[in-house]
Structure 1
Amino acid sequence: MGRVTALLGAGTQGRRLAYMWSSQGRAVHLIDAQEKQLSDSLKYIDGLRDASQRTDARWGDIKTFTPDSLRAALQDTWLIVECVPEKLELKRQVLAQLDELAPKDAIIASNSSSHSITEIIEGLSLSNARRVLSAHTYWPPETSAIELMGHANTDPGIIPLLMEQCREHGFSPFHVKRDSMGYIYNRIWAAIKREALLTAAEGVATPSEIDAIFKDVLKTPKGPFEQMDVVGLDVVLNIEEHYAEKRPDIPEEPRKYLHRFVRDGQLGVKSGQGFYSYSKP
């Protein structure tokens, strides 16, 4: 079916996106520097396909590539999504390289969760910045939301095309109509996390009490502190610091509160201790 979808990065997001974008017969090229990451991804995708309840699925071929054959991997692509680690300079380098090597009419998207496409491409000399945008996902296929956000000069015709293609491939697309740090959901979730941290920092209630009332009222499986432990408190702190750089009105108490945990190596689930204790890292 038509042209190829390419995904740069075969980590948690890349392999899940490969599963989604191959669900309607379209070929997918999965690119990563680590051969083991690529082979593990293929096994993981096979597991998702075996467990899939989708009756409309027509699974396309998935081919793997390493960066030394990047030009070949990008051949005949209509969409390229970068899923490299959340480091701004790395993403800027990758976007510049993709712009240089990709077919001139291919759409280039960033899956960044904390950097807008405006921030990523600022100062870059791209051959065609109009085909570049953000396409941020959460945890497909379980969480199917995808947020599409362009920059001031993104070709307006790209958004409806991607909205349609995303729906066909099992996503629930949302158009972020203005540049927004945190897109839609993460922006709202950041405010919830920040206020929960401030409530604890002020001694109004403990993390476990805040989680308990949160779950009781909203009927969610996890409270904000439980969720932050899963994400990693060092990651949560980095995100908060990034917000604070852009928005001077954000209070510093939540960051100070988080810093105490990070300083002591209490990073959440991955370290065995965060706001809660865990049996093993």
Structure 2
Amino acid sequence: MSLTNLDTTNPATPPTDPNTTTLTLPTDHIDDLQTIPYTPPTIYTRPLAILGAGNLGRRIACIFSAAGHTVHLHDPSQGALHSAQQYITENLPHYTTFPLISRPAGQIHPFSSADITPAVSDAWLVIECVPEHLPLKIDIMGELDAKTPRDCILVSNSSAFRTSFMVEKVCWERRKLMCNMCFGASPWIRAVELGVNEGVTEGEVVRVLTWVLDDCGMMPVQTSRVGRDGEGGLVRSQCLNTVN
């Protein structure tokens, strides 16, 4: 499923912020909390990984590939990967009209092993698109926390659960690097909802993801709540779904 090679000779880079942001580590007393500077991950020299090659996973792969990113698409089902390959081959040319800056499409590499390590070991971003089953997502996030670089941003495409519900097996400092990133079901919808965990998600993470999505030609909208009591999905209104 290898597509055109990624051109990294003159990649676009996200803006830098002179104001240092911090990650907060837990201690017994709030007055003793220590902080460490947050440094955004390098982007164009590392792949991003998508877990799940279903209808949304394959579409998200096209979005990032069209903007020049190398994509690792993981699914334990060979059938799902084969179907995704057909979709990507037929539809990627449309997605190349989205980015603000035209670039050669990045390669999309399929991974079908039961172990996700090869797909995520050097990723700067991982987007989980696994079925909407909370215990499964909790396990996936815990596994990602153990198998990805420490600066890797962990994102869920879930419209039913906040990432704050998935942190049971994730170490404290990594929770700052988690948020929801919900894409519309239709391939032609450009609106993307960034659902942050208010008071937890690192602001610089949101800024970097917003920049990357803008660069991909998408229309990111930030929200701080995910449904009511974790049910019902993100606030994805019909007016957003008509933006294209």
One-letter amino acid of the structure 1 residue matched with residue 77 of structure 2: Q
Question: Structure 1's 91 and 52: CA in aligned 2 closer, same or farther, altered over 3 A?
Answer: closer
Alpha carbons 2:141, 2:170 under 8 Å: kept:
no
**Cα distance in 2 between the residues matched to 1:164 and 1:118:** 23
Matched, 1:80 2:149: no
One-letter amino acid of the structure 2 residue matched with residue 9 of structure 1: G
Alpha carbons 1:20, 1:141 under 8 Å: kept:
no
Identity of aligned residues (%): 28
Question: Structure 1's 136 and 173: CA in aligned 2 closer, same or farther, altered over 3 A?
Answer: same
Question: Structure 1's 19 and 160: CA in aligned 2 closer, same or farther, altered over 3 A?
Answer: same
Instruction: Give the drift of 1:52.
Output: 4.7
| Corresponding residue to 1:144 among 190, 195, 207 | 190
Instruction: Give the drift of 1:16.
Output: 0.3
| Corresponding residue to 1:16 among 39, 51, 59 | 59
More contact order relative to length (CA 8 Å, sep ≥ 6):
2
Q: Deviations over 1:58-87 (max 9, x none)?
A: 211000112434211113211100000111
Partner of 1:89: helix, strand, or coil?
A: helix
In the other structure, the counterpart of 1:94 is 140
Q: How many residues are treated as equivalent by the alignment?
A: 188
| Corresponding residue to 1:63 among 106, 109, 124 | 109
Q: What runs of 5+ residues in structure 2 fail to find an aligned partner?
A: 1-7, 9-43, 228-232
Q: Which has the higher helix share?
A: 1
- Give the TM-score normalised by the residue count of structure 2: 0.71
**Cα distance in 1 between the residues matched to 2:110 and 2:160:** 27
Most deviating of 64-73 and 153-162: 64-73
Which stretches of structure 1, 4 residues or more, deviate above 6 A after TM superposition?
none
- Give the TM-score normalised by the residue count of structure 1: 0.62
In the other structure, the counterpart of 2:169 is 124
Instruction: Give the drift of 1:114.
Output: 1.1
Alpha carbons 2:63, 2:216 under 8 Å: kept:
yes
Q: What runs of 5+ residues in structure 1 fail to find an aligned partner?
A: 190-217, 222-281
In the other structure, the counterpart of 1:183 is 234
| Corresponding residue to 2:205 among 145, 158, 162 | 158
**Cα distance in 1 between the residues matched to 2:180 and 2:95:** 27
**Cα distance in 1 between the residues matched to 2:186 and 2:210:** 16
**Cα distance in 1 between the residues matched to 2:96 and 2:208:** 26
In the other structure, the counterpart of 2:48 is 5
